[in-house]
Amino acid sequence: VPFLLWAFLFFGVISSSPVPGRLFGEIRSPSYPNPYPNNNVSTWDIHIPEGYVVKLTFRYFDLEPSESCFYDYVKVSDKKDLGRYCGQLGSTMGNHPGRKEFVSTGNRMHLVFHSDFSNEDNGTVIPYRGFLAYYQAVDLDECDPKNAAEKDERPQCQHFCHNYVGGYFCSCRTGYQLQSDHHSCKGKLKL
Ligand SMILES: *[C@@H]1O[C@H](CO)[C@@H](O)[C@H](O)[C@H]1NC(C)=O
Ligand SMILES: *[C@@H]1O[C@H](CO)[C@@H](O)[C@H](O)[C@H]1NC(C)=O
C-alpha cells in the first residue's frame, strides 16, 4: 500500500504539471546554511518555459555588509541589472534585499554570488551564512499592453487577445477570419 500510495502521488504530480521544465526551485549560496567560503564566485541561470516570467525572493540573506556591496555580494539580473545586494537584516551598511520580489521581464533570471578573500577582520571570524532564495514561474499576461511594450519583437493580436497560463491566443471580430499567422484578421469576402 505505501508503494501504491507513493506511485499515485508521484504520477499524480507529474500528470498534473501541464508544462515541461522547471517551474520552481531554490538557490543556496555555497555551503548554506553553513558560512560561505572565501574567494568564491558562483552563478545560476534560471530558465523557465516561454510564456512565464521568473519571480524570486530571498527567504534568508546574510552577507558581509560593505559600502556599495563592494566585497561580498549577490547580483540579480534579467536582460537588465536588477541590483547588487549584501548585508544583514537591519544593518545600516550594505543593501539588504528584504522581502523584495524580483520579477524578470523575460523567462530568464541570472544570479551571481561573489565573496572576497576574507570573511574576517583581525583574526576574529565573523561567519556569514549566505542566502537561500526561492523562484517560481508566474504567468506572463501577453495581452497586457504594458508587457507588449517591453517585448516589441512579439506580434500583437489585431483584434482580440486572450491570455491563458503559459501562453495566449488571438481571435477576430464577427465577419473576420484569423489568418495563418494566428495574429491578423481579414474580412471574409461577401458573395
Ligand atoms: C564555489 O563554491 C562551490 C560550492 O562549494 C564550489 O563548487 C565552486 O567550485 C566554488 N567556486 C570557486 C570559484 O571557488
Ligand atoms: C576584532 O574586531 C572586532 C570588531 O571590530 C572586535 O570586536 C574584536 O574585539 C577585535 N578582535 C581583536 C582580537 O582585536
Residues having CB closer than 6 A to ligand 2 are: 121-124
Query: Any idea which ligand is nearest the CA of 114?
Result: 1
Show the beta-strand stretches assigned E in 23-107.
24-28, 41-47, 52-62, 73-77, 81-85, 102-103
For atom 6 of ligand 1, which residue has the closest CA?
30
Overall average pLDDT of the 100-105 stretch: 94
- Check pocket membership of 41 for ligand 1, CB cut-off 6 A: yes
pLDDT for position 14 = 34
Decide: 30 in ligand 1 pocket, CB within 6 A: yes
The model's pLDDT over 14-64, given as tens digits with 9 standing for 90+, comes to 333 333 458 999 999 999 999 999 999 999 999 999 899 999 999 999 999
- pLDDT (0 to 100) of residue 108: 92
pTM of the model: 0.75
Are the C-beta atoms of residues 115 and 65 closer than 8 Å to each other? Answer: no
pLDDT band at 3 (very low <50, low <70, confident <90, very high): very low
Q: Is the pLDDT of residue 11 over 50?
A: no
Q: Which atom of ligand 1 is nearest to the CA of 41?
A: 13
Residue of 163, 145, 70, 154 lying closest to 106 (CA atoms): 154
148, 140 contact by CB (below 8 A): no
Q: How far is CA 49 from the centre of its chain?
A: 11
pLDDT at 22: 81
Enumerate domains of the chain plus CATH numbers.
2-139 (2.60.120.290), 145-187 (2.10.25.10)
Residue 130: nearest ligand to its CA? Answer: 1
